[in-house]
Copies of this chain bind each other. A is one copy, B any other.
Amino acid sequence: MDKTPAICHTCWNKDCSLLKHCNSEWIDFINSKKYAFYYKKGQQVIFERTPAAGLYFIYSGMIKIFKTGLNGRQQIVGFAKPGDILGHRGLGKELNPISASAISDSRLCYIDKQVFEELLDKNPTLTYNLLLYCADELYRSEILTRNMAQLSVREKVADALIRMLDIFKNGDEYSMEILLSRQEIADIAGTTKEQVSKNLTEFRKEAIIDMNGKSMRVVDIERLHRISGKNNE
């Protein structure tokens, strides 16, 4: 599906957070102003502290959003999947506050910040919905802050699995293809790769999850929720 020509009117993605709130006239405008970008797995899309130039809308693929800390350690603060927006954190700012990298081959639609601001100016519904989108991300982020501050490692790993399931699940609600290394899972959970390893084998021994190779199935989601302290709300 990555090969489809990028014509907004015929875009297969009805969840696009941009088009969803635009009428036919604006979709024409967007179509004439947008660019299609392709990123390979592992390629970085947004670089912290570089000029915030525009916004991205995920057409296909998976993006991880992270902040860099001391000695280059990363903290993954969220993901973006098809339909999601990237780069809106840079609105009203000179520089990008966060980084983002592709975790699978991805195709993104790009719009210059200036053009997007024109869209916002002319299209209050879009602005309002972006506000709701942002408020919801703030909500998730503040939960994450609390979890990082208060949970034990076992609890944080359980919480990370629940978050990952939400993003990576394929077909069956409780199965996923893990596209991340142990280190990256550690960067979600806020711990070390060794602790992730240890806790995952623990979970497997307790029949909470089931793994082979890169694929994982959550056997006992209720248990996982109980371990993470139901702290995902």
Q: Which residues from chain A sit less than 8 Å from chain B, CB to CB?
A: 67, 69-70, 73, 75, 77, 88-89, 91-93, 97-98, 120-121, 124, 127-128, 130-132, 134-139, 141-151, 190, 229, 231
Contacts and interface: CB of A to CB of B under 8 A. Distances in A.
Given A91-B131, A128-B120, A132-B92, A142 B97 contact: yes
Contact of A89 (B128, B130, B138): B138
Contact of A75 (B69, B73, B136, B146): B146
A98 to B, nearest CB: 6
Copies in the complex: 2
13 contacts: A67-B145, A69-B231, A70-B229, A75-B146, A75-B149, A89-B139, A97-B142, A127-B127, A131-B131, A131-B134, A141-B145, A148-B148, A150-B190
Given A128-B127, A135-B134, A150-B190, A142 B69 contact: no
Main secondary structure of the interface of A (DSSP, over half): helix
Most chain B CB atoms below 10 A, which of A77, A131, A143, A229: A131
B93 A139 contact: yes
B231 A142 contact: no
A146 to B, nearest CB: 4
A92 to B, nearest CB: 4
A224 to B, nearest CB: 16
Contact of A141 (B88, B120, B142): B142
A130 B132 CA distance: 10
B75 A145 contact: yes
Given A67-B142, A148-B149, 18 more contacts: A67-B146, A69-B147, A69-B149, A70-B231, A75-B145, A75-B146, A77-B142, A89-B135, A92-B135, A93-B139, A120-B128, A121-B124, A127-B128, A137-B138, A138-B138, A141-B142, A144-B145, A150-B190
